[in-house]
Amino acid sequence: MFEILKSFESKYGHLKKKGLTIEGLAMVDVKKKKHVIKISRPLIFDNRLLPKKFEGLDIKTNIKLNDDMPSEFKVDRTQPDWHKTQYIWAPERFEKYVDRCEKELKSQLNSPQMTKQELLDALCFGNFEEHKLKSLQLIKEGKLPAYHEN
């Protein structure tokens, strides 16, 4: 298991310069003994550079939240049950953010030729359309709140 983590670090460790943190292995299902590789990264990061799985292990990604999050992603997390009324990673938030900051994002990602769709994919877990469809399905199932302006 640790060999897989070492292999992941040797293959993707260069992304630490872009803000990636490799946190290590974690067990997410004790009964099934399911392990994942845990990583964290900043909001502005090209997720297309990372796999969803590596040598049979899922990659569990957390975005580093901080006080200077863009306005599109600001939610009041001090309120109890805030996550029942606001989905911080709603696709609409990514779209509004890219619309507002397209030039700056291209510059920060050091990729001035990126299209809007490529920016959305880069920021939004590697595949914006997939995230959007999954979010809509979870909203229909009542597992996520629908997006609304703050």
**Strand 34-41 to strand 57-63: parallel, antiparallel, or no bridges (unpaired)?**
parallel
Question: What are the residues whose beta carbons fall under 8 Å from the beta carbon of 5, sequence distance 6 or more?
Answer: 22, 24, 25, 37
CA distance 28 to 148: 31
| pLDDT confidence of residue 30 | 81
- Asked if 43 contacts 70 with a C-beta cutoff of 8 angstroms, the reply is yes
- pLDDT for the residue 9: 97
Low-confidence ranges of the chain (pLDDT < 70): 150
Question: What pLDDT, on the 0 to 100 scale, is given for residue 29?
Answer: 81
The pLDDT, as a whole number, for residue 66 is 79
| pLDDT one-digit tens code per residue, 96-126 | 999 999 999 999 999 999 999 999 999 998 9
Predicted pLDDT of residue 150: 59
Domain ranges of the chain: 2-63, 71-140
pTM for the full model? 0.88
Length of the chain: 150
